[in-house]
Amino acid sequence: MQKQKSMFWQHLFANNNKQRFLVGLTMLIQVTLTGCDFIKRKSNVNENDDREAVARVDQTFLYRDELIGIVPPETNKDDSTDRIQAYINSWVHKQLLIRQAGRQININKAEVERKLLDYRYSLIAYEYQTAYIKQHLDTVVTAQEIEAYYKQYNSNFVLKQNIVRATYLKVPLTAPKIKKIKDLIISTKEKDKAELKSYCLSFASAYHLADSTWMQFDDLVKDSPLTDIPDKLQFLKRTPYYETSDDTHLYMVNVEEYRISDSVSPLEFVREEIINIILNKRKVALAKQLDEEVFNKAKENEEFEIYGN
C-alpha cells in the first residue's frame, strides 16, 4: 500500500502546468454542475473499476486521476503531499456547500450553466490570446513613437508631485574637505563632477548625483531635515543650492532643474509609462486581430451558421 501511494505522488508530480490548468478548469465545471444535478455521475464507485476514488460526498466521487497536475513538478515531496491533501479537503468543502445550497435555495440551473460556459470560454480564449500575443507582439518602441505619443497626449501626464534633477549629499560632520565639496557640488566642470563622485563613494552616507534622471523631490531628500521645508514650491523657485545639518550629518542639495506639481511632466519622467501604454495598445490590437482572423476564416470555410430568431 505504501509503495502504491509513493508511485501515486510520483505520477502526480511528473505533470506540467498546462495539465494543471486544464484539470483545474475541468474540476471547477464538474463540481458546480454536479451540485446542480446537471451531470448524473455513476453512483457506485465499483462501476469505475479502472479509477480509484480518493474522496466522496454522497454519490459524487473525486478520483485519483483528477488530481494529476495539481502540484508543480519541482515541488518537494512533503509540500506536494500537503498541497494534494489541501485540494482534497477543499473539494469536499465545496461539494458540501453546493449540496447544502441546492437544498436551501432555488437555483436557476440554466443561468448557472451559461455562466460556467462563459467562464470556461474566457479562460481558454485568454490562454490562446496570451500565446498569440506573445508570438506576434513587436516589443520595439522607437524614440519617435514615444515622442509622438507624448506630444499628442501630454495633457494626460500632469505631475502630482514636484520633481527635480538635482544633486544631493548626506555626509558626516567629521568627513574631510567638506568646504571643498560645497564648491564641487555646484560646479559644471566634468573634472569636478568626477571628483565629487569619487568623494561620495568614499565618504557620503547617502547621495544622488544629477543626471538626466528626474525624481520626486520628496524621495530625493527622504530621511533628512529637508523633508520639513514648509513651502517646497517656493523653495524650489528661490533656492537652487541649500544646505542644513543635524547633530551628526551635513545635508546639501543643488537643484539643476525642477517641475512643479500640476504642470506637464517632462518626457523623460514618463518615458517608461508611455512605452507600456504603447505596448498595451498593441496587445489590444493583436487580440482584436486574432478574433477577426478566427471569425473570417470560419466564415470563409462555412464552419458556422446563425439562424434567424
pLDDT tens, 229-244? 888 888 998 889 999 9
What would be the CATH architecture of the domain defined by 159-259?
Answer: Roll (3.10)
C-alpha cell of 191?
A: 573634472
Q: Give domain limits for the chain.
A: 2-110, 159-259
Question: Which own/partner pairs from 278-281 qualify as long-range (CB within 8 Å, at least 24 positions apart)?
Answer: 278/141, 278/145, 278/146, 278/149, 279/137, 279/139, 279/141
Amino acid 112: pLDDT: 84
pLDDT at position 55: 92
77-85: which pairs have CB atoms within 8 A and are 24 or more residues apart? 77/9, 80/9, 80/12, 80/13, 81/9, 84/9, 84/12
Q: What is the distance between the alpha carbons of residues 227 and 225, in angstroms, rounded to a whole number?
A: 5
d(CA 58, CA 286): 47
The predicted pLDDT at position 9 comes to 42
pLDDT of residue 16: 41
Q: What is the pTM of this model?
A: 0.63
Positions of the chain with pLDDT lower than 50, given as ranges: 1-46
C-alpha triplet 118, 124, 130: angle, nearest 5°: 125
Q: For residue 70, count CB atoms less than 10 angstroms from its CB and return exposed for 0-12, middle for 13-18, buried for 19 or more.
A: buried
Cβ proximity of 61 and 41 under 8 Å = yes
Q: What nine digits make up the cell of 62?
A: 473525486
Q: What is the pLDDT of residue 1?
A: 45
Instruction: Indicate the length of the chain as a whole number.
Output: 309
